[in-house]
């Protein structure tokens, strides 16, 4: 079976330094985690990722049921952190309500806050919503006393890499994700840096 490898960075930011949390643009608001919003997160994630490179890396992101499964998995992780899990909405009445962005946070075994997926629905990008959601998740990690925030990003996802660098994330590791089960790592890459593309 032929495999495609995607180069990804693990990036980390020190939470020990004070941070500036920007306000959302007018008309937008944060919506805190609630169990009844699991499907809203899944649908917003799907709309944000379905046409993007990460849907090639993680096929579940290009499929609504895959996003639902992924959200249930994230929710069931022992370190799932509601304080780092947010939606951005616009409008209040059922007629004009729009779900615009989603982020989830999990605490790993080392006491590091892991951002799972940040996604902004097309049409609401370039307004600072991604910046605000990442800062909101980092504030949630800080409120739990965590020392660092971390995430993984596909290197070819230039906009996302720029966003994280601007927010102070620095590369700590390079990983190669295989889209299909691979017998061998790409030429010249140690097998210890190769991970199967599964969530
Ligand atoms: C990556 C992603 C989350 C960024 O979200 P976003 O809301 O567009 O992010 P921001 O608006 O905070 O920043 C994006 C750009 O808008 C600019 N911007 C931010 N606020 C702005 C404002 N008020 N006015 C004008 N431009 C602004 C930023 O400077 C940035 O510019 P750059 O791309 O040249 O660096 C979004 O593109 C996305 O959902 N992509 C698909 C899913 C994905 O790949 N997620 C990342 C997985 S690791």
Closest CA to ligand 1's atom 33 = 159
5-196: CATH topology: Aminopeptidase (3.40.630)
Contact 146, 85 (CB under 8 A): no
Residues within a 6 A CB radius of ligand 1: 48-49, 52, 54, 118-120, 125-131, 153, 157, 159-160, 162-163
pLDDT at site 4: 84
40 CA to middle of ligand 1, Å? 21
The pLDDT mean for the chain works out to 92
Residue 197, pLDDT > 50, answer no
188 CA to middle of ligand 1, Å? 33
**Cα–Cα dist 24/9, whole Å:** 28
183 CA to middle of ligand 1, Å? 36
179 CA to middle of ligand 1, Å? 26
> How much is the average pLDDT of 148-164?
98
> How much is the average pLDDT of 45-56?
97
Could you tell me where the beta strands, DSSP code E, fall in the chain?
Answer: 5-14, 28-32, 86-90, 98-107, 113-120, 148-154, 170-178, 194-196
Mutate which of 30, 56, 163 to test ligand 1's pocket (most atoms within 8 Å of Cβ)? 163
Residue 58, pLDDT > 80, answer yes
Long-range contacts of 35-41 (CB under 8 A, 24+ apart): 37/87, 38/71, 38/72, 38/75, 39/68, 39/71, 40/87, 40/99, 40/102, 41/71, 41/85, 41/87, 41/102, 41/104
For 69-98, write each residue's pLDDT tens digit.
999 999 999 999 999 999 999 998 888 999
In the chain, domain spans = 5-196
| DSSP secondary structure string for all residues of 180-197 | S--SSPPTT--GGGEEES
Closest CA to ligand 1's atom 5 = 130
**Cα–Cα dist 113/140, whole Å:** 9
Closest CA to ligand 1's atom 15 = 126
Percent of the chain beyond pLDDT 90? 83
163 CA to middle of ligand 1, Å? 6
Query: Given the CA of residue 101, which atom of ligand 1 is nearest to it?
Result: 39
190 CA to middle of ligand 1, Å? 33
């Amino acid at each position: 079976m032929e495999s495609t490898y995607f180069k990804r960075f693990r990036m980390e930011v020190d939470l020990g330094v004070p941070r500036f949390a920007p306000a959302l643009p007018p008309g937008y608001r944060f919506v805190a985690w609630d169990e009844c919003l699991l499907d809203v997160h899944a649908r917003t994630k799907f709309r944000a990722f379905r046409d993007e490179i990460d849907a090639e890396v993680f096929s579940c992101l290009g499929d609504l049921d895959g996003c639902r499964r992924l959200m249930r998995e994230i929710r069931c992780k022992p370190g799932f952190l509601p304080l780092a899990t947010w939606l951005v909405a616009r409008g209040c009445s059922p007629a004009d309500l729009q779900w615009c962005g989603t982020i989830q946070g999990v605490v790993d075994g080392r006491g590091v806050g892991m951002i799972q997926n940040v996604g902004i629905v097309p049409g609401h990008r370039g307004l600072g919503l991604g910046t605000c959601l990442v800062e909101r998740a980092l504030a949630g990690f800080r409120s739990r006393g965590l020392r660092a925030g971390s995430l993984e990003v596909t290197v070819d996802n230039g906009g996302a890499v720029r966003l994280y660098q601007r927010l102070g994330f620095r590369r700590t590791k390079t990983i190669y994700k295989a889209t299909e089960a691979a017998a061998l790592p790409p030429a010249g890459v140690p097998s210890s840096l190769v991970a199967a593309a599964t969530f």
